[in-house]
Amino acid sequence: MKDQLAAVPVLAQSIQGQALSSGHRRMVLVEGAADWACQVAAVWLTQVPAERALWVGDGACAEVPCCTPGEANRWLGSERQLLIWNGRSGYAPDALAALTGTLVAGGIFLMLLPPLEDRSSTLSDTGDDLKASAQRFSHRLIQSLLVDPTILRLRQAHPWPQVPVMEAPRTQAASAIEPTPDQVEAIDAVIHVVRGHRRRPLVVTADRGRGKSSALGIAAARLLQEDRQRILVTAPHLSAVDSLFRHAALAWPDARGESGLLRTEAAELRFVPPDVLLHERPTADLLLVDEAAALPTAILTGLLRAYARVVFSTTVHGYEGSGRGFVLRFQRVLETETPQWRRQELSQPVRWAPGDPVESWLTRTLLLDAEAAHQIEVPEAELVVRSWPGSERDRDEGLLRQAYGLLVEAHYRTTPDDLRQLLDDDTLHLWLAQQGETVVGVLWVQEEGGLDPALGDAVAMGRRRLRGHLLPQSLANHGGDPTAIGLRYGRVVRVAVHPQCRRLGIGARLIAAAREQALMAGWDVLGTSFGADVALLAFWCACGLDVMRLGLHREASSGAYAVMLGEGLSTAGRRLVEAQRARFAEHWPGLLATHWRWLDAGLVCALMAALPPGTGLVPEDERELHYFGEGHRQFELSRLPLQRLSHYAMLKGIPSTWSEDDQALWVAAVLQQRNWAELQAEGAVGGRRQGEQRLRHLAAELFRTVADLERQ
Divide the 712 residues of the chain into consecutive groups of 10 and give the mean pLDDT of each group: 82 92 94 94 93 93 88 79 93 89 93 80 48 74 94 93 63 60 95 96 89 94 96 88 92 94 96 91 96 81 95 75 62 90 91 91 92 72 90 94 90 82 94 94 96 90 87 94 96 93 94 96 96 92 97 76 96 98 94 93 92 84 91 91 87 78 95 94 90 93 77 62
Distances (CA, A) of 501 to 158, 410, 434: 54, 13, 11
Residues 6+ apart with CB under 8 A from 275: 299, 554, 559
Q: Which helix (H) or strand (E) holds 213?
A: helix 212-226
Query: How far, in Å, CA of 171 to CA of 156, rounded?
Result: 36
Query: How far, in Å, CA of 517 to CA of 369, rounded?
Result: 32
Of 392, 466, 389, which is closest to residue 428 (Cα–Cα)?
389
> What number of helices (H) and strands (E) belong to the chain?
24, 23
The reported pLDDT for the residue numbered 131 is: 44
Query: How far, in Å, CA of 605 to CA of 664, rounded?
Result: 10
The reported pLDDT for the residue numbered 196 is: 95
**Got the DSSP string for 259-286?**
TTEEE-SS-EEEE--HHHHHHH----SE
Residue 295 identity: L
pTM for the whole thing?
0.84
Quick one: how far is CA 359 from the chain centroid? Answer: 23
CB 220 within 8 A of CB 231: yes
Query: How far, in Å, CA of 10 to CA of 15, rounded?
Result: 9
Query: How far, in Å, CA of 250 to CA of 128, rounded?
Result: 40
The reported pLDDT for the residue numbered 130 is: 43
CB 231 within 8 A of CB 190: no
Q: Which domains occur in the chain, in start order?
A: 2-155 (3.40.50.11040), 181-346 (3.40.50.300), 380-590 (3.40.630.30), 619-711 (no CATH)
Distances (CA, A) of 431 to 413, 494, 601, 667: 20, 11, 35, 40
The reported pLDDT for the residue numbered 161 is: 83
CB 144 within 8 A of CB 364: yes
Of 243, 201, 504, 446, which is closest to residue 342 (Cα–Cα)?
201
Of 80, 6, 79, 17, which is closest to residue 44 (Cα–Cα)?
6
CB 277 within 8 A of CB 234: yes
The reported pLDDT for the residue numbered 712 is: 60
Strands (E), 45-170: 53-56, 66-67, 80-86, 103-113, 152-155
Query: How far, in Å, CA of 64 to CA of 38, rounded?
Result: 13
Residue 305 identity: R
In 3-state terms, what secondary structure has residue 81? strand
The reported pLDDT for the residue numbered 307 is: 97
Query: How far, in Å, CA of 326 to CA of 105, rounded?
Result: 29
The region that residue 76 occupies, defined by phi over 0 for left and psi between -120 and 50 for alpha, beta otherwise, is beta
Quick one: how far is CA 182 from the chain centroid? Answer: 27
